[in-house]
Amino acid sequence: MIGRREFITLLGGAAASPLAARAQQAGKLPTIGFLGGATATAWSYWSEAFVQRLRELGWSEGRTVAIEYRWAEGRHERAAEIAAEFVRLKVDVILTSGGVLLAAKQATSTIRNCLCGRERSGRRRLRLKLARPGGNITGLSLQTTDLAAKRLELLREVVPGIRRLGVLANIGNAAAVPEIDEVQAAARVLGVEVAIFEMQRAEDIASAFAAFKSGAEAVYVCTDPLVLAQRARINTLAVAARLPTIYGPREHVEAGGLMSYGANFPDLFRRSAELVDKILRRAKPSDLPVEQPTKFDLVINLTTAKALGLEVPPTLLARADEVIE
């Protein structure tokens, strides 16, 4: 169990109490436990952005701060093991994101709730929680669920007249449920039929696309560490099945997906470094409101579009933040 003076900072989630007094002892560096939900390769841009911003704020890895990196590789049981390991190591900060938030939350009873922009409460209540997250919580909202309807609208610009949408979701990730709900709600408004495939393991992916091939015209992939770790395989199967895909993180499109729309993760990790910096300098988490994304990316892979025989409207290309050719 983490002591009262220790804290957890969760990108998209939570942070516990200020820097442990033991980290102030002579010769003892403050230690950050970096819990990556996917693989080191998948998170490389994000971890580099975090470390670079820490450096700009005066923290030198190995000299004034220590960082312990661990990778869950999309496995929630592994994330729980890592979170428990960080508690045993008595790190001062645990930084993580998205689908592995629950593991970090459950590692200690001092984390009493996990703030997430995917909560199924009204917007007024959500804003209140963002402004006053609680005594030991702060972080950054990913707004993954809030953007589900926007993603579906963007997909329809590339696949006009779509009537059947496949949704790939890792049901082992609690955050998938509200995202699925938002996709279904948006689809009903647009008159689109939704077929959901609930995966739990990497081995389920092939079966999902076998089902989608005969029952969907495009696939919405819910944001998840396991999905990110398996992005190349998913995109290969999608192209083979001639199914357009849409994601949240841009990394999926860089790996061959059709398009993505979501918060800019490197920017979020830079801002998470600023939160860590403040708490390491003794700011109280309760005084640091949970922040929301300010940068969003629309990324389109024209090579994939051509492979699928799709024409991307010039008006959509003009709005894209990046076009991969």
pLDDT given at position 132? 52
What's residue 140's pLDDT?
A: 76
Q: Which of 147, 103, 118 is nearest to 8 (CA)?
A: 103
**Bridge partners, 15 (sequence order):** none
Looking at every residue in the chain, the average pLDDT score rounds to 81
Please give the sequence-ordered ranges of beta strands (E in DSSP) within the chain, or none if there are none: 31-36, 66-71, 93-95, 164-170, 193-199, 218-221, 245-247, 259-263, 296-301, 322-324
For the chain, which domains are there?
Answer: 21-141+265-296 (3.40.50.2300), 145-263+297-324 (3.40.50.2300)
For the chain, 325 residues long, give each residue's pLDDT as a single digit of tens.
Answer: 333 233 344 444 344 434 444 444 445 798 888 988 888 988 898 899 999 999 999 999 999 999 999 998 878 788 888 888 888 888 877 888 765 555 555 555 443 222 333 333 333 333 435 555 555 557 777 776 778 999 999 999 999 999 999 999 998 877 788 889 999 999 999 999 999 999 989 999 999 999 998 889 999 999 888 898 899 999 999 999 999 999 999 999 999 999 999 999 899 899 989 988 887 887 777 777 778 888 999 999 999 999 999 999 999 999 999 999 9
Q: In what order do the strands lie in the sheet with 93-95?
A: 66-71, 31-36, 93-95
Q: How far apart are CA 78 and CA 127, in angstroms?
A: 32
pLDDT of residue 128: 35
pTM for the model stands at 0.79
Q: What pLDDT does 131 receive?
A: 52
User: Contacts by 58-63 with C-beta closer than 8 Å and gap 24+?
Assistant: 58/277, 59/277, 59/280, 63/29
Amino acid 116: pLDDT? 32
Identify the pLDDT of residue 28: 79
Query: Could you tell me which residues come within 8 angstroms of residue 234 by beta carbon, excluding any fewer than 6 positions away?
Result: 168, 205, 209, 221, 227, 245, 252, 257
Q: What angle do CA 198, 140, 294 make, to 5 degrees?
A: 100
> What pLDDT, on a 0 to 100 scale, did the predictor assign at position 104?
57
Q: What is the DSSP string of 6-39?
A: ----BBTS---SS--GGGGSTTPPPEEEEEESS-
pLDDT (0 to 100) of residue 175: 75
User: 222-249 in b/e burial notation, b at 16+ Cβ within 10 A?
Assistant: bbbbbbbbbbeebbebbbebebbbbbbb
For the chain, the distance separating the N- and C-terminal CA atoms, rounded to the nearest angstrom, is: 50
